[in-house]
Amino acid sequence: MTNSTARETSSVATRREARGGPAGPAAAAEPLGSLVNPFDVQSVRKDFPILSTKVNGKPLVYLDNGATTQKPNAVIDRISRYYREENANIHRGVYHLSQVATEAYEDARRKVARFINAPDEREVIFTRGTTEAINLVAATYARSVLKPGDEILVSSLEHHSNIVPWQIAAGATGARVRVIPIDDDGDLLLDEYAKLLSGRTKIVAVNHVSNALGTINEVRTICNLARRAGAKVLVDGAQWVAHFPTDVREIGCDFYAFSGHKLFGPTGIGVLWGQRELLEAMPPYMGGGDMIESVTFEKTTYAQLPNKFEAGTPDIAGAIGLGAAIDYVTGVGFDAFHDHEQRLLSYATDQLKKIPGLRVIGTAKKKAGVISFVLEDPALSALDAGTRLDREGVAVRTGHHCCQPLMARFNVPATIRASFAFYNTTEDVDALVAALKKIRSEAGAKSPVIAAPQRGAGATKEPTIQFPEASAPSPAAAADEFADVFEMLDDRDARNEYVLDLGAKLPQAFDTLKGLGIPRVPGCMSEVYLIGRMDPGSAERLQFAADANAEIVRGLIAILQKLFSGQRAADVLAFDVEGFFRRIGLDQFISAQRRNGLAGMVRRIKSLAAEVAGGGKNGNE
């Protein structure tokens, strides 16, 4: 046994022994409440090396488990051992290494089948993740059964990956997508769901747990009602599997999907489970090696399950790593950490609600360890809050969480989301709360009081839009001035603070620009509005005004205005924006388009410059 193998094995055994139970396989089957000792979270944390690291000089407080979980040594070592000792392609090799790799890969499939209580391991299909699993069903099963007039039901709580594939399938078949509504707490309205079901309903797609709100859905009830209507059900289990036992037979669904990386396993691996008779009737999702039985130029016959849906070389290490993650989680035991996670959720909810001006979004009756909230007094955008929390070593997710329809339902553009795993502690919650209080205090001290625009009787004349003049002879000259400033800012925090200060000084125009009805600039975590025109004094120059509801983005707007507004359109088009941001050490904003919309702003500005250079209309005016 190698050192890494010993560590993989002893890590799980130690967890079982720490619970007061035996180190053998039967330990994971203890019923809830049978623990001799309480859950030892500090012991578990030692299995996750990243949790002992620091961020910005402060201990890492990782509260973004809804996006991905951290990995225990058992998983890291198992993947490393595969590459060091077992690496070979699977299924087609007669030599020893290939057979060892094949057995490890197929053993991972058997572990998944036991983990979700699948009737047959051949029903377990390895995918790249939940998204690919859902797309597989939408592209194969849905397209083969849907016809014009049929209906697909999805809930208001869904991630985009459980909306968009069904819209694509509906568009290709003439079916339509209908939406199961929720109440103001974030609970599905099951009575309304029952009313939506009819003979036209062919597919129901719902999540087990909402990634944005933490709502736990009554999937057994949903499946029972769908079955009576003759519909098939796909359950997105991405946010469930790391927190609660999964039993697809008890749930009664037809398809179940989840991702390895949210179960303490590696990225790039996921699972689709499906009823065998459905999978056998479905056409392949992809063609290629390993999914065929025989190929001629006249005809191809397909392999049996599961190979039929696993074309090409799979993520062998990912599957093996997922198997190790399942071993680890079952070794710790859902029964052991269930109460810990629920207490943590309750404690965090209570502490966050005590912060003045903080509003929790989503207060469902049954929730997993997810809390979404906004800061309203003083108002602070989710993006700005996330940036400031990072300075305190606290990692949370900010934005619409790939749930734009859900954000619209609650009339918010984005939320701050803290999501927990069994290795989180009340000290993590305390650190989050302390950091929020600090940034709230700073925001209150810095934010100027902006008078709301008057409307109706007594209102002043329509507010004017300020189009900045050129700040330098050319974009290159403005860039040199910025480079001189940023050269004196020697770390990431100092540069971010400078950008925030620029944002605080930018003239307020958000409500005015938004009220014009111009299209919003794409950006995941903030609303950005931008309008441009040909300079009235020079037909070859571009002017533009913009604003956003996030201070960090307002700072980026200030930089772009100093670079481009009032400049020759041809110079704007020729300027290397990405090179400039790399030069001043802010290239992180270019690569993180989903966080701040900078790339979208640059595209809009260059599009306006192209219009001006071509002698077109005056931008958006």
CATH of the domain at 253: 3.40.640.10
**Beta-carbon count within 10 A of 509 CB:** 20
**Count of domains in the chain?**
2
What's the pLDDT score for residue 29? 35
DSSP 285: S
In the predicted structure, residue 455 carries a pLDDT above the cut 50 = no
Q: In which domain, by residue range, is 489 found?
A: 475-613
In a domain, 47, yes or no: no
What's the pLDDT score for residue 301? 95
In a domain, 303, yes or no: yes
Q: Measured at the alpha carbon of residue 268, what is the angle toward residues 264 and 272, in degrees to the nearest 5? A: 85
pLDDT digits (tens, 9 = 90+) for 404-441: 999 999 999 999 999 999 999 999 999 999 999 999 99
pLDDT digits (tens, 9 = 90+) for 579-603: 999 899 887 765 554 555 788 899 9
In a domain, 135, yes or no: yes
What's the pLDDT score for residue 27? 36
pLDDT class for 459, splitting at 50, 70, 90?
A: very low
Tell me what percent of the residues of the chain surpass a pLDDT of 70. Answer: 88
Phi, psi dihedrals of residue 513, rounded to the nearest 5°: -65, -40
In the predicted structure, residue 106 carries a pLDDT above the cut 50 = yes
In the predicted structure, residue 450 carries a pLDDT above the cut 50 = no
Among 75-84, 255-264, 381-390, the minimum mean pLDDT is found in 381-390
Q: What is the mean pLDDT of the chain?
A: 90
74 versus 15: which is more confidently predicted? 74
Report the CATH number at residue 541. 3.90.1010.10
**For residues 18-44, average pLDDT:** 51
In a domain, 99, yes or no: yes
pLDDT digits (tens, 9 = 90+) for 512-566: 999 999 988 876 567 899 999 999 999 999 999 999 988 888 999 999 999 999 9
Query: Which of 329, 354, 371 is where one domain is finished?
Result: 329
- The single-letter code of the amino acid at 581 is F
Query: Which of 277, 312, 329 is where one domain is finished?
Result: 329
In the predicted structure, residue 57 carries a pLDDT above the cut 70 = yes
Whole-model pTM: value is: 0.88
pLDDT digits (tens, 9 = 90+) for 282-333: 999 999 999 999 999 999 999 999 999 999 999 999 999 999 999 999 999 9
In the predicted structure, residue 487 carries a pLDDT above the cut 80 = yes
In a domain, 290, yes or no: yes
In a domain, 276, yes or no: yes
- The residues assigned a catalytic role are 402
Signed CA dihedral, 216, 219, 221, 226: sign only: positive
In a domain, 423, yes or no: no
What's the pLDDT score for residue 524? 52
In a domain, 71, yes or no: no
CA distances from 256 to 114, 134, 259, 325 (A): 14, 9, 11, 19
- Helices assigned H by DSSP within 138-241: 143-145, 164-173, 190-196, 219-229
**For residues 497-512, average pLDDT:** 92
Query: Which of 329, 364, 393 is where one domain is finished?
Result: 329
Alpha-carbon distance 215 to 222, whole Å?
14
